[in-house]
Structure 1
Amino acid sequence: MKLLNAKTTLPLVLSGMMALTAACGGTTAPSGGTATNSEKPAADSTKKDAAPTNQPVKVVWWHSMGGELGKAADKLVSDFNTSQKNVVVEAVFQGTYDESLNKMKASMDSKSGPALIQVYEIGSRFMIDSKAITPVQTFIDKDKYDVSSLEENILNYYRVDGKLYSMPFNTSNPILYYNKDMFKAAGLDPEKPPATYEELADAAKKLTKDGKAGGSFAIYGWFMEQFFANQGAELLNNGNGRTSLATESLLAGDAGVKTLTWWKQMVDDKTMLNLGRKTDDTKKAFAAGQIAMTLDSTASLRGIVNSAEGKFQVGTGFLPKPSGAKDGGVIVGGASLYILNNRSEAEQQGAWEFIKFLADAKQQAYWHVNTGYFPITKKAYDEQIVKDNLTKYPQFQTAVDQLHATKMNLATQGAVMGVFPEARQLTEGAIEEALNGKKQPKEALEGAAKEISGKIGTYNKTVSK
């Protein structure tokens, strides 16, 4: 794929990258990006720089990890800077993922932006099309870096056309959380969470009593994407946008209609509450014992378990799917790290050295324990702090098992499109319409799919094959 003139093309492309939360841990996302230097051969990016060798190379890293996540990121940066003398990383928090990408766009012409940027997973198609990056595959090939040490199901999302464009950093997927005490009181086996749509609907009925509801799922587009993948169903045509550019949304297909019909029926039966779009609201209701089941990111696990401490036991289960569904699994959420190609070759190489440091088992173990995100490196599970953390939070084993049980195919690899944030918002609008009784599930999804397909078409006109 070849991008049209970057300065005229990217403002059009950027319209699809606005205002949406990231699919992980409640952190919101960046938006925007302008490519310059797009004609520079990627292979040149790893040549040695002519800068004086006695001066460390400064690498600016823009990220969207706030609060406790930001503190954990800062610790990793500090550890890297003290581990060697050739590169100094400066981490700069840039707000949500959308805000960070908008700032990247504004910085490109002046080259005042970062060498490394964290971008949410649904920005992948845009970042590739922007031509603003040097794929990490370039550095992997040059170093003969062994990616077999990394989790294949995580790498799989960020591979497009067999090439790894970015390195995964913070990774999560959704799991079912349930109140074991309420399960016992309802005569349900607290060690056997519902695995299918049918089992969950039946459990929700039994759990709904004494002013408490069986559950609540936030109206979150990420959940619908996951329900598709768990049925082995693709969200977009053309192999989920991976065999060639997607041109059509498949949101109104059987997987979508089946899922929304099931969801709406539970809301209509008053066994499932509709608490709106914010996962914070479903978390609060769960912690208060008002609902027995909910869906949330694995990155929220520690917070959810801690909020229930002294009140009830939290159980975890795989994301449910219809009985008889095809092989599938979950799609990774979160964000990855991109190296920008308008920075010097020395800065790009320095960014790569930092990326390799972050992927090391020791760093991944620290990151996982202090944030709840998955380690991307398999050997991190051998680190004692990870073993200790699993002892304290055994519920996380569910997340690990679910990741490893996921069947790799185009559905679980995840959809890629340049207007993903807008598509996710339209999906949420359709779910709302159905749950609020304004439209039937199929009608609501068909309307959203038509709008998404239109936006995909507009986006595709900004790139030439």
Structure 2
Amino acid sequence: MKKKFKFAYLYMLLLSLIALAACTNSESNTSEQNEENKENNEVVTTEEGKTVISFWHAMSGVGQTSLDSIVADFNASQDKYEVQAEFQGTYEESLTKLRSVGGTKDAPAITQVFEVGTKYMIESGFVEPIQKFIDEDKYDISQLEGNILNYYTVDDELYSMPFNSSTPVMLYNKDAFKAAGLDPEKAPATFSEVIAAAAKLKTDDMKGFSMLTYGWFFEQLVATQGGLYVNEENGRAGDATEATFNGEEGLRVFEFLDTMNKAGTFGNFGTNWDDIRAAFQSGKVAMYMDSSAGVTGIINNAPFEVGVAYIPYSDEAERKGVVIGGASLWMSKGIAEAEQKAAWEFMKYLTTPEVQAKWHLETGYFAINPSAYDEAVVKDAWGKMPQLKVTVDQLQSTEPSIATQGALISVFPESRQQVVTALENLYQGMSPQEALDQAAEGTNRAIEIANKTK
């Protein structure tokens, strides 16, 4: 009996070793074959035959958690494709990595790039315009949010698929408004109204208004007046050659900030998002501008009732709306056709109302497909947190124009840094016009160099 048991045990052990060896050899062969496929610019597949593609992104924290979940759901929803989401650091770090492999077989099928990288990506030669796949597939682009598509559309061609889209909004402390005798249900709308409210809200411990020292907010305050950032119709009629943001619209913004800074009602909390958000939540400032994607977190963490309003605009202008921010997804050129097909199918999946509803609620970013707002889960969430709807209303009420479409220049990151320096100089006492002119001159030099080396 013992011999029979021992023989059966050895027999089962031998079968297990054979199976393990076969599995190991299979995995090894698959890995070797995929390496060979990559070298020959052929498709990498899973053991099940799924086409594998890489998706480079810059999402961290809540955004990464939500994105990983969406990718997993896509992979499980069908048996043809497998997306591998790979975090590449910040937008700047990811773009630097892409420069080394862009246009080759080693490039990821999809890369997430921030909005100010649009001009660079178009001129890079690394990408296949999304319009090609829209036309071939007869995909109904009208189902997506027009005011988001506008930014990424150049000469009537959509170059990338919008993904994590946001705009600025103004957040305010409703409790502080009540204490100051202001209507907590009516936020100030114009520059003069903000200045007046800031004076009433100021206390020994609280400043009235603040804005992150970041070029994006300045761009928005210029655009909502109908002002342009650069010439050549904001760089959309041709390559821009000079900055125009130091004109009357930009000057109004700097004078607006300068007035409150000199009155002691403006709080300068620097360039770090966490610092200005902490200042608001701890009651050090009553009003400030933030990204729409940050609204949910602020409401959930503030020890007071938070109001959300449209960004302010100049008394000498009419409100035109906002320019979309965030990032979009770009299709690589030079990779296998099957990989492009997989990437396109994933992009279409991302635009579905169900996925966009999940993305909107989990991250605070806009749904690029407005039908997502009709989903029951979104309506329920808006009922509990109506401030979220304000961010969407501001976007959808934006008037399409060259100003709100946003500027296109390949040196946008450099230009934003010029504006940051100008804001810092302003707060140190430099005149608004001089600070702006210096930023414009620095931007012009960067544009000139970029145009010469294009």
How high is the TM-score relative to the length of structure 2?
0.89
**Corresponding position of 1:373:** 365
1:418 counterpart SS class = coil
**Cα separation, 2, equivalents of 1:306 and 1:53:** 44
**Corresponding position of 1:452:** 443
Which structure 1 residue ranges, 4+ long, deviate > 6 Å from structure 2?
A: 48-54
**Corresponding position of 1:226:** 220
Q: Shift of residue 67 of structure 1? A: 1.5
1:249 counterpart SS class = coil
Identify the structure with the greater helix proportion: 2
**Cα 1:457/1:367, change in 2 over 3 Å:** same
**Corresponding position of 1:403:** 395
Mapped pair 1:339 → 2:331: yes
**Corresponding position of 2:30:** none
Mapped pair 1:348 → 2:340: yes
Amino acid at match of 1:324: E
Amino acid at match of 1:365: A
Amino acid at match of 1:185: A
Give unmatched runs, 5+ long, in structure 1. Answer: 1-47
Q: Shift of residue 392 of structure 1? A: 2.2
Mapped pair 1:211 → 2:202: no
| Residue correspondence of structure 1 range 385-464 to structure 2 within 5 A | 385-437=377-429, 439-463=430-454
**Cα 1:293/1:341, change in 2 over 3 Å:** same
**Cα separation, 2, equivalents of 1:57 and 1:49:** 7
| Residue correspondence of structure 1 range 25-44 to structure 2 within 5 A | none
**Corresponding position of 2:138:** 144
The aligned length equals: 413
| Residue correspondence of structure 1 range 29-428 to structure 2 within 5 A | 55-108=49-102, 111-308=105-302, 311-428=303-420
**Cα separation, 2, equivalents of 1:416 and 1:432:** 25
**Cα separation, 1, equivalents of 2:82 and 2:57:** 16
Greater shift, 272-281 or 353-362, is seen at: 272-281
**Corresponding position of 2:6:** none
Greater shift, 191-200 or 273-282, is seen at: 273-282
Give the structure, 1 or 2, with the largest relative contact order (CA under 8 Å, sep 6 or more).
1
2:188 counterpart SS class = coil
**Cα separation, 1, equivalents of 2:208 and 2:318:** 27
Amino acid at match of 2:449: T
Q: Shift of residue 112 of structure 1? A: 2.3
**Corresponding position of 1:12:** none
Q: Which has the larger radius of gyration?
A: 2
**Cα separation, 2, equivalents of 1:53 and 1:66:** 30
1:154 counterpart SS class = helix
Greater shift, 210-219 or 55-64, is seen at: 210-219
Q: Shift of residue 126 of structure 1? A: 0.2
Contact (CA 8 Å) 2:103, 2:333: kept in 1 or not? no
Q: Shift of residue 236 of structure 1? A: 0.6
Contact (CA 8 Å) 2:111, 2:331: kept in 1 or not? yes
**Cα 1:72/1:52, change in 2 over 3 Å:** closer
Q: Shift of residue 258 of structure 1? A: 1.0
Q: Shift of residue 109 of structure 1? A: 7.2
Report Cα offsets for 1:342-371 as digits up to 9, x if no partner.
Answer: 211110111000000000000000001100
**Corresponding position of 2:19:** none
1:148 counterpart SS class = helix
**Cα separation, 1, equivalents of 2:350 and 2:384:** 24
- Cα RMSD between the aligned structures? 1.7
Q: Shift of residue 279 of structure 1? A: 2.2
Q: Shift of residue 51 of structure 1? A: 9.3
2:283 counterpart SS class = coil
Q: Shift of residue 170 of structure 1? A: 0.2
Report Cα offsets for 1:402-438 as digits up to 9, x if no partner.
Answer: 001111000000001000000001111011101111x
**Corresponding position of 1:19:** none
Q: Shift of residue 459 of structure 1? A: 0.8
**Cα separation, 2, equivalents of 1:364 and 1:115:** 21
1:124 counterpart SS class = helix
Identity of aligned residues (%): 46
